[in-house]
Amino acid sequence: MMAACKPGLSRSAPFSTGRGQHMKYRKSGTAIAVMACFWSASALAQQNAPSPVTRYSPDFFARSQPYSALDMVALLPGFSLDSGNADIRGYAGSAGNVLIDGARPASKQESLEEILRRIPANAVERIELIRGSVPGIDMQGRAVIANIVRVKAAMARGRMEAGAYIFRSGLLSPRIAAEASHRSGDRLIEASIAYYREYDDQHGPGSRDRLAPDGTVLRDADYRQDEGDKAIEATGNYEDRLWGGKLRLNGSFSRSRTFADIEQLTRAPVAARELIFERARKTAKEFGLQYARDMGARTGMELVALHRAGTGHARTSAFEGRGSDVTRTDTDAPETIVRAVLRRRGALVSLEGGLEGALNILDSYNRLEEDGVAVPLPAAHVRIEERRVEPFVTSSWQFSPSLSLEAGLRFESSTLIQRGDSSLRKSLAFAKPRLLASWSPGANDQIRLLFEREVGQLDFANFVTSSSLATGTVTAGNPDLEPDRTWRHEVALEHRFWTSGSLLLTVRRERIDNLVDRLPVVASSTIFDAVGNIGRGARLELAADLSLPLDRMGLPGMLIKANVTCRRSHVIDPATGERRHISDDAPLEGELHFTHDLPRWRARWGVDVVLPTAEREFRFNEIRTDRIGTQAGIFAEYRPDPVWNVRIFARNLIDSSNSRERIVFGGLRGTTGRAYVETRLLGVGPYVGFTVQRSFGK
C-alpha cells in the first residue's frame, strides 16, 4: 500500500516531501494493540455481509470543508494516494490508485495530484473506496483503489490560484495557475495553465569537510548549493459520447528549466574557490485517446492510444583556479503506446483480456571535457529502442459477499536494440502471474492475500555513461543490464471503526532474482561504477496505516493519520563478497499528520511531521549515505466564503539539516583501505508560504 520515494521537489498543496507516508517503529506497536481491541469487538458483532465498495458522500467530508477532490481523497480512511510512476514505460505499470468516473486518466505526463486538484469538491457526487476485487472495475493491479464519481449536471466552472514559498535566505518560489471547465450532458471540456518556480528544500548553505582515516583534516570548506526549476505547463481535455461509447482526448505541454548553483570556499589546507553551474532545459508533449463502449449488457471494450515526446539539453560547468571542466548531455525520448481491452462482467465471474504494445526510444549523447580536452567515456553515445508486446488476462470470482478472488497472467515479450558506441540486440520474455484473495470476516474487517511475480523495468539511462562534476565520479553505461524479477507475497489486515477510523497492517516479503544494484565494471583497463545485476536478494517490509478520529475521546474535529514502513533487505556485495542491504533501501520511513476542523469558524489547521530517513548506496570504491532530518510543519486554512480558500503554512520548523557522507576507498572496496571520509551538511532553514484560491461558476 505504501511506496517509499526519493526526496525531491514537492508541488502538492499540503506538507509533503514526496517520500511516502509512514510512522516510527514504536508507533506500530501501539497500532497493533489498538487494532486488537477493535478487531475483537468487531468479531463479536459479526454484522451483515460486507460490501467491497464503501461509498462516501459529500456529507462525510463536509466538516473539513474540502476545496478539491485532492483534499477529499486525503481524508479517506485507510487510503494513501499513490500517483504511480510516469517514468515506467508502457501504460499498465504506471497507473496510480485513483479512478475518475470508473476509468483511469489517460495521461501519464500529468500527476494524479494535479488532476485531482482541478476537480472542485462540489463537483464530486461521491467517492468509492474499493477493496479487493470488484467485477467490471479495473483495479490497476492494486488491492485498494479510490473512484471519484463526478456530478453530471450541466455547469461551467473556473479556478484561479496564486501562492509562493519564501525562504530564510530570501529566495522566492511563486506559483500562479488558472483552469476552466464546461460540462453539458456527456460533453466535458477542460483547460488549465500554470507557471511556477521551485527551490529544492533539501539543499542550501552548509559545509563540506574531508578527513583522512587518522583524523587529519584534508579539506575544511563552506559549501552552498541552491537548486530548483521553473516551468510552464498547459493541459486540455475533451470528453463526449461517440458511436454509442465515450471518447476522452487529452493533451499536455510543458517546458522547464532546472538549475543548480554550487559554491565551495575551501579554508584548509589551502584556500580555494570552486564554482559549479548546472543548467538543463526540458520539453515534454503528450497526446492521449481513450475510447470505451459497451457491446452488450455485460460486455465492454476499451481502446487507449498515447504518444509522448520529451527532449532534454543539460550542461554543467565547473571552475577552480584556472582550470575548468564541462559536461554536456542531449537526450530525445519518445514513447508510443496502444492498448486494447475486452471485459465480460458476470454476477459471480468476470473476465478481462487484452493486448498492449509499446515503442520506447532513448537517444542520448554525453560529453566530458577537462580544460578543453575531450575525455573519452564508455557508452557515451547510445540509442536504445525497446519494442514490447504484452498480452494479459484477468478473472475475478465473487464466491460470496465476503469472499473474492482475482487471478491474472501477463506475458511480457520485448526486444531491445542498442546502437552507437556499443551495439546489442536482446530479446526478453517473462510470465507475470498474480493472485489476490480478499475475505471479510465482518462488516468492518478484511484480510487480503497477494501473490505475484513482478518484472522490473530497465532504466534506459543506465545504458549510458554519465558523470558528476560535483562529486567527481563517473557512472559507466552497462549494455548487459537485465530487469530484475521479484516474487512477492503479501498479507494485509484492515479494520474500520468509528465511522471514519481505520487501521491497516501489511506484511510483505520479496525474493528478487537478478537484482539491479551497483557493481564494478572494467573499460579500457579502468574500473568504473555502473548499475548492473548482482544476483539474488530479499526484502521484508512491515507497514502500518492508521486513521484515528478523536471525536469519541472528547476532541471533536480532530484527526490523526499516520503511516510507517519498516524495511529489511540483504544481498551479496559484488565488490567484497559480504552480505549487505540493497542500495537505497531506507530501513524506516514515516509521516504523522494531525488536523483540527473548525467548521464554525470556517477554518482548519494541522501539524505535519516527517520522520528522518537514511539511504545508503554501495559503489565500487565508495559507500554513500544520504540522511534527511526530521521535517515538521504547521498550516492553517480559512474559507471566508465557499468560493475562496486561503492557506498559510510554515515548514522545516525545527531547522533540521540534511547530510551526505561519502566513505571513499583507495580502489575496489574489500581490497583497499579507506582514503578519506567526506561529510556534507546542508539546510535551507525554516520557510513560510501561502496559497490563495478563488473559484467561479457552479
If you average pLDDT over residues 308-326, what whole number do you get?
Answer: 89
The stretch 560-586 carries a mean pLDDT of 94
Q: How far apart are CA 64 and CA 76, in angstroms?
A: 12
| 69's grid cell | 477532490
Is the pLDDT score of 118 beyond 90? no
DSSP line for 260-287: EEEEEEEEESS-EEEEEEEEEEEEEEEE
Q: Binning pLDDT at 50, 70 and 90, where does residue 107 land?
A: confident
Q: Give me the mean pLDDT over the 421-444 stretch.
A: 89
Q: What is the identity of the amino acid at 675?
A: A
Provide the pLDDT for residue 33.
Answer: 41
Please, which residues bridge with residue 206 across strands? 223, 682
Residue 684 pLDDT exceeds 80: yes
CA distance 390 to 385: 16
User: Does residue 212 surpass a pLDDT of 50?
Assistant: yes
Range of 144-148, 505-509, 527-531 with top mean pLDDT:
505-509
Among the ranges given (130-134, 326-330, 383-387, 520-524), the one the predictor scored with the smallest mean pLDDT = 130-134
- Tens digit of each residue's pLDDT (9 = 90 or more) over 17-74: 333 333 333 333 433 343 444 344 333 333 444 567 888 998 888 888 888 888 888 8
Q: Choose between 382 and 134: higher pLDDT.
A: 382
Spatial CB neighbours of 430, under 8 Å, sequence gap ≥ 6: 411, 412, 453, 455, 483, 485
Give residue 418's pLDDT.
86
Is residue 139 within 8 Å of 104, Cβ to Cβ?
Answer: no
Long-range contacts of 79-86 (CB under 8 A, 24+ apart): 79/129, 79/144, 79/146, 80/1, 80/2, 80/21, 80/545, 80/563, 81/112, 81/113, 81/116, 82/2, 82/3, 83/111, 83/112, 83/113, 84/112, 86/111
* Lowest mean pLDDT segment, chosen from 79-93, 195-209, 528-542, 643-657: 79-93
We find that the CATH architecture of domain 25-697 is: Beta Barrel (2.40)
Distance CA 580, CA 588 (A): 16
- Residue range 291-302, pLDDT digits in tens: 999 888 889 999
- In this prediction, residue 464 has a pLDDT band, given cuts at 50, 70 and 90, of confident
CA–CA separation, 443 vs 259, rounded Å? 53
What pLDDT score does 467 carry?
67
Q: Which one has a higher pLDDT value, 37 or 448?
A: 448
Q: In percent, how much of the chain has pLDDT > 90?
A: 54
- Half-sphere exposure of residue 442: CA atoms within 13 angstroms, side-chain side: 17
Average pLDDT over the chain, rounded to whole? 85
Given a cut of 60, whether residue 658 has pLDDT beyond it is yes
Query: With contact defined as beta carbons under 8 Å apart, do 312 and 285 qualify?
Result: no
What is the reported pLDDT for 86?
Answer: 59
Whether the per-residue pLDDT at 1 is higher than 50: the answer is no
d(CA 10, CA 631): 13
Listed by start position, the domains of the chain span 25-697
Please check the confidence at residue 522 and state whether its pLDDT lies above 60: yes
